[in-house]
Structure 1
Amino acid sequence: MKKILMVLAISFITLVITACGSTEDNENTNTGSNSNDEVTISHELGETDVLVNPKKVVVFDFGILDTLDALGLEVAGIPKSSTTPDYLEKYSGDDYENVGSLKEPDFEKIAEINPDLIIISGRQASLIDQFEELAPTIHLGVDTTRYMESFKENMNAVGQIFDKQKEIDEELAEIDTLIQELNDKASSTDKNALIILANDDKISAYGANSRFGLIHDVFGVTPVDEGIEASTHGMNVTFEYVKENDPDLLYVIDRSAVVGGESNAKQIVENKLMENTKAYQNDTIYYLNPDYWYLSGGGLISVKEMIKEIDGTLN
């Protein structure tokens, strides 16, 4: 009888230990997001249910690629047929699929990848129906009329999708601090500025609420001309216009340098007519990095670098 009781006791203890181990295993397994978890993302083109921590992601916005890179997150494919920013050059390598260009996506290649998520922006917006046939698709382009608000919305969407909200909050807090410091510096100077895009031998000006208008709207630098039309492509102007407005600071973005042309903005901008301007005479013509300003604006890395560039011009 004693032997029977001892066997039963040992069996009971074994069952308890096994059950505890099973419970612990389940708790460990359930820590973090389940691979089947979804989050609903609101974006410019609607609402989309997206897997949390998607494994295969195709990205058509270099600002979002910049952000994913900053967070240490991988992607499956990018539009290699378009110019990739130099600081994101690793994504041009063989480890990443080529899904066409920004204007002409390769839908066949995307279908081959069979992604869990596609992220697009303005240039692909009209094609969203075709993208959605292949995978959940969200639009995370920056709205330049409300730059920081839409930038933060995009970053928070990334935080939700990839379970990186803590990191995103920390990054955004740092950016807010840098912007406040830049605003303080801008408000303490009486200098005004003009932003131009140099495209071969033509120039266009950008003011508030435009593609590069955050220099005025967000960073607080006074525009030399309040009447510049808000436009994605800028307002066509001449060097006579620049001379007439005579800004203290002239910011130049060289489009040709990043779209396969020759980088000759300096030669075009610093002409005989411009020699009579304050910006030329005071050596305050600044050639901004087109990787950040033209190709990948709206990323965690690019926005910080844009702040630093403008900050450096106000010393």
Structure 2
Amino acid sequence: MKKKALLLMMSLVLMFVLAACGSTSNSNNNVNSGASTESAAPAEGSANAAAETEGNASTAAGTTEATAPAEVTIKHQLGEATLKTNPEKVVVFDFGTLDTLNKLGVNVTALPKDSLPSYLKETYTTDAYENAGTLFEPDFEKLASLKPDVIFISGRASEAYEELSKIAPTIYTGVDTAKYMESFKQNLSVIGQIFNKTAEVEAELAALEASIQSVNAAATASGKKGLIVLTTGGKMSAFGKGSRFGFIHDVLGVPASDESIEVGTHGMSVTSEFIAEKNPDYLFVVDRDAVVEKEGAKAGKDVIENALVKNTNAFKNGKIAYLDPNYWYLSGGGLESTAQMIQAVEAVVK
């Protein structure tokens, strides 16, 4: 009987021990599961971090894309050109455009250094700028090595357009004298778009238009007529409406002494007798030889002021204006040159 009781007691003790071991085992299992969960949490956190990093990268990429130079397509007289805005390497074969870029503070890489207008020489003949050839003969080898982002040209370099276009986007910015202001504004708009200078261009243009209106009103009210003459090599050519100097008649409103002057690149050949016959109240003279070396050059004043011309109203009233050929012959169509052209005529008609 005692033996049975002892066996029963030992069985109970054994069951208790086994139960305790099972509890410890379950407890250990729960601790291990907890460790796995904690270790999984960082993994999930890492995934989120990776996703966040990716998101940040996407945001950064989006920001870069938003601030990257935009692409603009420009249609011009000779064709079409597509380029990035704010180009760094700029080549210019038009002194009117060079004038405008200089006024707007746009950097230029290369240009023809010969025959530069006097007011631009000091800046652009330095070693800081590459010589791109001449206005009529670009240095294609030099340009190819420079790898420009854009090239601006006008009439003097127009024959090289196709070849220049193979090197870089090439844009024609010459002024159409038959519709001067329309063409002038269009060129300014193009430059404003390309260099993100639209606001500056609009401000400059507003000031010019105000001056034009003032001079036009004075010229129209005076009722006096004008004649435009270019002198070169001792000879004279007259220019009328729609010509390269027609700005005086077409935009500034000075009535023409002769409405029938033929429109041509070199004007209409005239004599002192012609000037005396037309008897202009204002005589505007552009001395080409003052800026272009020419054999047989003679000062414009010496060509104009002879006995016949001295009988005109223009001479008698001190209204012969010798226009600066740097602006009128070399760099017409620029912001600075156009402002100077307006002032020159204003000084005569007011």
TM-score by length of 1: 0.90
Q: Structure 1 counterpart of 2:279, which letter? A: D
The alignment status of 1:258 with 2:253, answered yes or no, reads: no
- Render the CA deviation track for 1:76-120: whole Å, top value 9, x for unaligned: 111113x00011111111111111111111111111211111111
Query: Counterparts of 1:50-65 in structure 2 under 5 Å?
Result: 50-65=83-98
* Residue 47 of structure 1: how far off its partner (Å): 1.4
Q: Which range moved further: 243-252 or 261-270?
A: 261-270
- Structure 1: 4+ residue segments shifted above 4 A: 10-32
Which residue of the partner structure matches residue 239 of structure 1?
A: 272
Q: Structure 2 counterpart of 1:86, which letter? A: S
Which residue of the partner structure matches residue 118 of structure 2?
A: 86
Which residue of the partner structure matches residue 314 of structure 1?
A: 349
Picking from 75, 78, 86, the partner of 2:108 is 75
Cα distance, 1:110–1:18 mapped onto 2, change above 3 Å: same
Picking from 230, 235, 242, the partner of 1:209 is 242
* Residue 24 of structure 1: how far off its partner (Å): 7.9
Secondary structure of 1:297 counterpart: coil
Query: Counterparts of 1:215-230 in structure 2 under 5 Å?
Result: 215-230=248-263
* Residue 238 of structure 1: how far off its partner (Å): 0.4
Q: Structure 2 counterpart of 1:299, which letter? A: G
* Residue 260 of structure 1: how far off its partner (Å): 2.3
Q: Structure 1 counterpart of 2:231, which letter? A: A
Q: 2-side partners of 1:45 and 1:308: how far apart?
A: 32
Picking from 54, 71, 91, the partner of 1:38 is 71
Picking from 312, 321, 326, the partner of 1:277 is 312
Cα distance, 1:104–1:12 mapped onto 2, change above 3 Å: closer
Q: Structure 2 counterpart of 1:39, which letter? A: V
Cα distance, 1:263–1:63 mapped onto 2, change above 3 Å: farther
Q: Structure 2 counterpart of 1:257, which letter? A: A
- Render the CA deviation track for 1:186-240: whole Å, top value 9, x for unaligned: 1110211000001021000000000000100011000000010111210000010
Q: Which range moved further: 97-106 or 218-227?
A: 97-106
> Alpha carbon RMSD of aligned pairs, Å?
2.4
Which runs of 5 or more structure 1 residues have no equivalent in the other structure? none
Secondary structure of 2:148 counterpart: coil
* Residue 143 of structure 1: how far off its partner (Å): 0.6
Q: 2-side partners of 1:256 and 1:303: how far apart?
A: 21
Q: Which range moved further: 67-76 or 167-176?
A: 167-176
* Residue 129 of structure 1: how far off its partner (Å): 1.2
8 Å contact from structure 1 (residues 200, 265) kept in 2: no
User: Computing the radius of gyration over CA atoms, which structure comes out larger, 1 or 2?
Assistant: 2
- Render the CA deviation track for 1:51-82: whole Å, top value 9, x for unaligned: 2111101100000000100110011111113x
Which residue of the partner structure matches residue 286 of structure 1?
A: 321
Which residue of the partner structure matches residue 299 of structure 1?
A: 334
Picking from 162, 171, 177, the partner of 1:129 is 162
Q: Structure 2 counterpart of 1:221, which letter? A: V
The alignment status of 1:167 with 2:200, answered yes or no, reads: yes
- Render the CA deviation track for 1:18-52: whole Å, top value 9, x for unaligned: 899878866764564x13x3100010011111221
8 Å contact from structure 1 (residues 58, 115) kept in 2: yes
Q: Structure 2 counterpart of 1:235, which letter? A: M
The alignment status of 1:177 with 2:210, answered yes or no, reads: yes
User: What is the number of residues matched between the two proteins?
Assistant: 310
Q: Which range moved further: 143-152 or 163-172?
A: 163-172
Q: Structure 1 counterpart of 2:274, which letter? A: Y
TM-score by length of 2: 0.82
Q: Structure 2 counterpart of 1:88, which letter? A: L
Secondary structure of 1:157 counterpart: helix
Q: 2-side partners of 1:224 and 1:153: how far apart?
A: 30
- Render the CA deviation track for 1:96-153: whole Å, top value 9, x for unaligned: 1111111111111111211111111112212211111111111110110011101111
Secondary structure of 1:194 counterpart: strand
Q: Select the structure that is richer in helix.
A: 2
8 Å contact from structure 2 (residues 232, 298) kept in 1: no
Q: 1-side partners of 2:53 and 2:329: how far apart?
A: 60
Q: 2-side partners of 1:73 and 1:116: how far apart?
A: 14
Which runs of 5 or more structure 2 residues have no equivalent in the other structure? 1-33
- Render the CA deviation track for 1:222-280: whole Å, top value 9, x for unaligned: 00000101112100000100001010000000000001245611111111222211111
Which residue of the partner structure matches residue 100 of structure 1?
A: 133
Q: 2-side partners of 1:88 and 1:289: how far apart?
A: 14
Secondary structure of 1:49 counterpart: strand
